[in-house]
Amino acid sequence: MLFAAGLVLLLLGVLSGAILVLAPLGLTGATAGAALWILFPLFTIAGYLLAAMPARTVALSWLTRGSGIVLLLLALAAAVALVLQSSSLLDSRGDSLSLWYVLAVGLVLGSTGVATFRKGTPDAI
């Protein structure tokens, strides 16, 4: 149950980050309110920790790598959006501060997750 609840929170955290990226680009009807700024890192970290608690070593390793990759991809999407906005190739519908925020949080959490992945770890602790 903890694993499932953790995955749901982790997905909600990533969804919050995706909305923070898509809203300033006008690609969604959603707005990036203050709650999303708080929920993106909070749900991502809390969801990972809840899912990691009951996980065995190998499952934990793959959970860490998978969440790290998703967060890095989200950070890269924010970086691409920033470049496209600053070169006027893409119209912006608001402030680009949320893109910078997702870029910073996604790079820190995502690179940490990918860097700590260990392939071939033993199955039992």
Tokens of 109: 């959490």
> Could you say which DSSP state residue 25 is in?
G
Domain boundaries, the chain: 2-115
**Per-position pLDDT tens, the chain of length 125:** 888 999 999 999 999 999 999 988 877 777 778 999 999 999 999 999 999 998 887 788 888 999 999 999 999 999 999 999 888 887 777 788 999 999 999 999 999 988 886 665 555 44
Nearest to residue 80, comparing CAs of 99, 106, 57? Answer: 99
Residue type, 119: K
pTM given for the model? 0.85
